[in-house]
Each structure stands twice: as C-alpha cells, then as structure tokens.
Amino acid sequence: MSNTAEVGAEGERRRAVVLLLAVITAGAILRLARLGSQSYWLDEAFSVLLVHAPWRSFAYQLRTAEANMSFYFVLLRLWDRLGDSEAQVRLMSAIFGIATIPVAAAAATRLYGGGAALAAAVVMALDPFDLWASQEARGYALVILLVTCSTWAFVRATDPGEDRSAASRSGARIWWILYVATSALAVYTHLYASFVLLAQWLSLAVRPRSVPWRALITSGAALAVLLVPMAVFLLSGPHGNIDWIRGSWGHLRDVWNSVRQVLGRGGAIAACGYLAVCVALLWVVAGMTWRAATPAERWVYLVPLLWFVTPIAIPLAVSLTIKPVLDPRYATICAPAVALLAAAVVGRPGAWRVRLLAALVAAELFGDWAYFARLRKEDWRGVTRTMIGESLPGDVAIFYAPYVRRPFDYYASRRPADEPGAASASRQVRAIYPSARYSDFTLDTIVPLSLAGALDTARAAPRAWLVLSHVLRTDSACAAALDAALRPALHRVRDLRFAGGVEVRLYARTRTVADSGRAVTDTLARACPQM
C-alpha cells in the first residue's frame, strides 16, 4: 500500500515538473518573440551609448549620475561584447525574465505549498508587464528577478516552520547570504527595490515571536554596509534623473495619453482590465489576511500583499506631497507579487477562486496580445534612415527635448560603411542642438545648451530638420515657439510622423529676413524650460 502511494506521489511530482517546464517554455517563447523587430527607443539607446563609453567615462557616469541601474549597466557592458544589435542586447533581459518564472514558483511553493507553484508560474509567464520588461534594454527585468530571489531567500530564512536546530543553521546561513546579496544588487539595479525590502521587513510585524532576530539584524547590518555607496550618492546632492516626471495629476494624464498613443484603444483597455483584476485579487487576499487564524498564516498572505502595495503607495504619497517620483514603469517591480497573490487563492474553496484566476489569465492574455499587436516603440531607426537618406548638403537638425538626440546619434554611427552615400550623408545632417557632448558621456555632467543660437544657425541654413519627441502636453508651447522661430526664414515643406510619437518637420528656405533677436530668445526662454 505504501509502495503504491509512493509511486503515485512520484508520478504527481513528475507531472508537476513537466507542467512547470511547459509553462517556462511558453514564457520563454513569449519573451523571445520579435525581440529585435523594433528600434531602440530613447532609454534603450541611452543604455547602449553609455556602455560603449570609455571605461573612465563609464565609471564617472555611474558614480556621479547613473548609480540607479548601475549593476545592470555593468552587466550590459560585459554582455555587449557579444554584439549590440537590438535582439542581442535585449536577449539579456529576456533571460532574466525567463529565470523569474521558476523562482516565483519556488517562492509560492514555500509560502503556500506545491499546488501553488504552477499557478504562480502561469501568472508570471503570462504577465504583460514582465513581458515588456523582458524585451527592454533596461534594468527592469533584472530588478524583478533579483527582488523575487530576495523574497524567496527571505521567506526561507524567516519561515516560522523552518528547523532552527544547530544542524540546520549552516543551511539557514546560506539563505541569509543569498538574501543580502540579491537585495543589495536589486537596489543597485533600481532604487524601487528598497520598497520591496521594506515590505519584507514590515510583514514580520504580525509574528514578532517567531522571527530569528539575531540573524535578521546581522543581515540588515551587512545590507546597510553594502548600500553605503548608494547612500553617499543620494546624499551628495540633488540629482536630475527623474526631473522629467511631471506633476502628479498632470503626469497621470500624460501617462494615459501616452498609453493610448503607443498601445491604441485596445491596448489601453487591456491595461485597465489587468489593473482592475489585480485590484480585485488584492481585495480578496486582504480579506484572507484579516481572517487568518494564526500569525504565521497571516504572514504568508501579507508578504505578497505588502510587496504589491508598498512600491506604489509610498512613491504616490511622495509624489502628491513633495516631489513627483512615481512612473508606471517602476511599478513593474510588483509583477511577481501578482503571481504570489494568485498562488495564495489557489487552495481556497469555492468557485469564485476559479473565476478570479480565469479573469486574471484572460486579462494577461489580452495584455500580451495588446503588447505584440499594438505596442510601437519610438522608431529612431526609421527616423535616422529617413533624415540621412533624404538630406542635402548644408542641412542642420534641432532635437527637442534635447536628450532625444541620443538615439539618432546611435543609429547614425551604425550606418554601414559600404552603404551608398553613407559617409557623405552622415556629414550632411549636422545636429546643432543640443551639443554633441549630450551623447559623448565626457567627464563633465554639465552639457552646454544654446537653443537660441541653434535657431540662428538654422535660419541661415538652406534646410532645417526639427525633430520632436517626448513633447507632452506642457511642452506644446515650446513646440509652437520653435516653429514660429523658424518660419520667418524657412517654411515647412514636410511633416513626418513615426512610431512612438516621434515627429520630424522639414523646413526649407524662403527668403532672408531680419533676425528678431531678443524677442525670439525671450519667447523660447518662457516656452522651452530645457533650453
């Protein structure tokens, strides 16, 4: 009888492993599909340009400006030796995204038992936000993996059901070391990881008597020491890395408009549907936490609950009261929490859990469809090809916002040397604003900007290209001021719109006019804060 039971249990384990491998394979297919089909957008081009900088400049930028995501940039610099095509660079993020699936399943198994692993893996594999992060040449997929590993190690190290005997202490020590290492690396990959660490520690408040306090305090001290360089960076002075985030409510309107522009109406509906199901799941697990019979049971529900809430609630509160710091991309760090929340309801009785999980999977599948069918990244590859291919001698170019010159410079530098007219064409489009130092990553964080001077040069040129990107609602006055400043000497002959909201305007000479001088400068100073 016991042999039969053992054979049956072994068969169940094998089926579970096969199903888990099938889910991981499906997640891998999603993350590898069309990996290099779209151009780098602004932030991705920044990543690649930064890792191509000389080592001295690269280290200087990490120390003075780019400490956030620094661990990702170091890994990308090593990975870049394999090639810098879109597919090759994004492959590293895809690997991180694929690896997150089994780690989330392992964390769910530890919290809720073996039956929850498959649910967590399915939800993680299909999550549209993790899918997006896995196809970005940015650190989001890496930080998601690291905080998932950190949470898994945290649960293993602090689990009240864990054996605390002397014989098991060496094994527990390994989990604490893994926890400290992955937590520190997560913070160096993205500062929002600190909110997940805070959520982990807050969850222990419901079971203070079963916490291994000595090991916890020791690991906290070790983590604090490892994070001293990041603290020095944050305290060294104001940093403008997130100054582009708009005022809280105005920014939310800009985000909604951007979602509709990039994803279309169907994609925007998919995003709203996914968030609605997540809120319902959050509400259900919050009720389960409240009704839990023991502190240990309450804790296993509180871990993903706080993970989901903390990285959104605290930045939102800061944004509303002090300074805007919340961007929806940063909230992707909560994706594994959704998988654990789904795993938490798997063992609950009632048909409602089936309907809730089915709604979540349906929302994720709809989101995946919207991602592949609707998402269009900024087509800087097409912008560069068009401008260089159609340029004439003496053409100049102005980029606004200033930082959007970077992807143009990247793609211009990658034009094949044997392409007809490539060398001469690259010299014909002369970018006069902003300064080339914006893309050079020199040992100087101050980049000279002179928009008024660039407009003087453009009005004297036979033709001028005006490239507008990341120009949101509050920048519309600047776009109008730029157009008005060019029109006295040039007239618009062509308007081109590319994916991702990039607009290119071509101006050609009409006549020579007197310079409006001070009036133009004053108008631009009022309308264009980044000049």
Q: What is the pLDDT of residues 242-263, one digit of tens each?
A: 555 555 455 556 556 555 555 5
- Count of beta carbons in the 10 Å neighbourhood of residue 427: 10
3-class DSSP assignment, residue 69: coil
487 pLDDT band, cuts 50/70/90, is: confident
Report the range of poorest mean pLDDT among 91-95, 141-145, 188-192, 425-429.
425-429
Q: Which residues contact 34 (CB under 8 A, 6 or more apart)?
A: 372
Instruction: Take residue 112 and report the two structure tokens written for it.
Output: 């809720």
- Count Cβ atoms within 10 A of the Cβ of residue 119 and give its class: 0-12 exposed, 13-18 middle, 19 or more buried: buried
- Tell me which of 299 and 489 has the higher pLDDT: 299
Cα distances (Å, whole numbers) of residue 487 to 59, 252, 505, 526: 43, 34, 12, 19
Exposure of 463 by Cβ count < 10 A (0-12 exposed, 13-18 middle, 19+ buried)? buried
Buried b (16+ CB within 10 A) or exposed e, 305-335: bbbbbbbbebbbeebeeeebbbbbbbbbbbb
200 contacts 150 by C-beta, under 8 angstroms: yes
Q: How far apart are CA 148 and CA 132, in angstroms?
A: 17
Query: What SS3 string covers 210-252?
Result: HCCHHHHHHHHHHHHHHCHHHHHHHHCCCCCCCCCCCCHHHHH
Give the chain's count of helices (H) and strands (E): 23, 5
Q: Which two tokens stand for residue 40?
A: 């780098």
Question: With bands split at pLDDT 50, 70 and 90, how would you rate the model's confidence at 105?
Answer: very high
Peptide bond into 401 cis (omega under 30): yes
Above 50 in pLDDT, residue 304?
Answer: yes
Q: Which helix (H) or strand (E) holds 491?
A: strand 490-498
Mean pLDDT rounded to a whole number for the chain: 85
Phi, psi of 498 (to 5 degrees): -115, 165
> Which segment of 48-52, 289-293, 477-481 scores lowest on mean pLDDT?
477-481
Which domains are present in the chain? 2-32+67-374 (no CATH), 380-527 (3.40.190)
Provide the 8-state DSSP code for 322.
T
Tens-place pLDDT, residues 129-174: 999 999 999 999 999 999 999 999 999 999 876 655 554 566 788 9
Q: Tokens 């932030």 map to which residue?
A: 43
Confidence of residue 425 (pLDDT cuts 50, 70, 90): very low
Q: Is the peptide bond before 349 cis (omega within 30 degrees of 0)?
A: no
| Alpha-carbon span 458 to 452, nearest angstrom | 10
Q: Name the pTM for this structure.
A: 0.91
Q: Shortest CA distance to 465 belongs to which of 432, 442, 440, 437?
A: 432
